[in-house]
Chain A
Amino acid sequence: MADNRENLTIHIKEDWCKGCGICIAFCPKQVLGFNENGKVTMLDRENCIKCGMCQLRCPDFAIFLGGKE
């Protein structure tokens, strides 16, 4: 992913998430989970290593690394 991971964080576009669970299941640090709507949510931001695998495997472009807001 981008070189400067310090400034990146995981963003979730809940409207586009279809709740398939791929990102959650294959997150190497298991920091993601479902929210009450059955969509992905960040459970443990501190332990996220920003590897970007969730972004790569999300079929719906709903989770991605982007700049901190």
Chain B
Amino acid sequence: MNHPLVENYFRIDKFPHIWCPGCGHGIIMASIARAIEKLGLDKDKVCVVSGIGCSSRAPGYMDFNTLHTTHGRALAFATGVKLANPELEVIVISGDGDLSAIGGNHLIHAARRNIGLTTICFNNNIYGMTGGQYSPTTPTHDKGTTAPYGNIDKPFDITQLAIGAGATYAAKTTVYHVNQMDKFIESAIKHKGFSLVEAISICPTYYGRKNKKGSVVDMMTFLKDSFVDHKVAEKLPAEKKEGKFLMGEFINKIEPEYTELYDGIIESLKK
């Protein structure tokens, strides 16, 4: 017997996947499939697009129209797919480096356009595929192979970056808070317009080891203890918020969607 989700939404012959023991990416990939299942989407009409990196290997396992593109460019390819065929439900899977470093320009512009793409950022705070270099989301003072004396960069908050650029749906969650993740990914896919779910993942192999974060379980426990819903946090006294990271749904609003606006132009020209 196989995992029912794998049977129905994955390319079972490609398993087991390439990710390291304890890597959180598989949890997010499963959550995406559950959301698709829950929404009852037609597999033939789902397109999953990725760039380069650990997370970007996900589409190869997923039984949809899948496109593994060049580093950082997933959103740009996906924009072409979506505009060319708005019927398709286009989901972009991108890592923190892929999405906010080399692909940062595409992120802000896809958000600005409010094009109906769902972006799931697998954020593990490191470049995993290349062996543990610091990324735009590596916390200051943390180490990477290219930050041997501690990172002096200030990290991006990808969720807030997307909101600043105009995303109409944005949420942050972690691989520990998996029920919440399911809910957010489902809402993001349903959302008309640009949506982003930043899923905080764990990279025990590179980030964890380099920064002495302990075992896989220790890293998961850290997520459990450190992330608090921003609505809950509002009511907490200051001392209880110290050292906590905010998660939750940060924006969910309706604005005109890009491909619908373009179809409006086409319609208006028919007159």
A residues at B contact (CB < 8 Å): 11, 13, 15-16, 18-22, 25-26, 53, 55-62, 64, 66-67, 69
**Known contacts A15-B16, A22-B217, A22-B220: A59-B27 contact under CB 8 Å:** yes
Q: Are A60 and B26 in contact (CB under 8 A)?
A: yes
B211 / chain A contacts, CB cutoff of 8 Å = none
A53 / chain B contacts, CB cutoff of 8 Å = 178
A16, A57, A64: which contacts B15 (Cβ < 8 A)?
Answer: A16
CA distance A46 to B40 in the complex (A): 34
**Known contacts A15-B16, A25-B217, A66-B4: A57-B21 contact under CB 8 Å:** no
**Known contacts A16-B15, A20-B216, A22-B216: A59-B25 contact under CB 8 Å:** yes
B residues at A contact (CB < 8 Å): 1-6, 10, 15-17, 19-27, 30-31, 175-176, 178-179, 182, 204, 215-217, 220-221
Q: Are A58 and B26 in contact (CB under 8 A)?
A: yes
Interface of A is mostly: loop
B20 / chain A contacts, CB cutoff of 8 Å = 18
Q: Are B22 and A57 in contact (CB under 8 A)?
A: no
Q: Other CB < 8 Å A-B pairs besides A57-B175, A64-B3, A64-B4, 8 of them? A: A15-B16, A18-B21, A22-B217, A57-B178, A60-B16, A61-B15, A62-B3, A64-B5
Q: Are A69 and B1 in contact (CB under 8 A)?
A: yes
CA distance A40 to B188 in the complex (A): 33
B4 / chain A contacts, CB cutoff of 8 Å = 64, 66
A26 / chain B contacts, CB cutoff of 8 Å = 176, 217, 220
Q: Are A21 and B217 in contact (CB under 8 A)?
A: yes
Q: Are B27 and A21 in contact (CB under 8 A)?
A: no
CA distance A58 to B234 in the complex (A): 32
Nearest to A69 among chain B residues (CB) is: B1
Q: Are A57 and B176 in contact (CB under 8 A)?
A: yes
A13 / chain B contacts, CB cutoff of 8 Å = 2-3
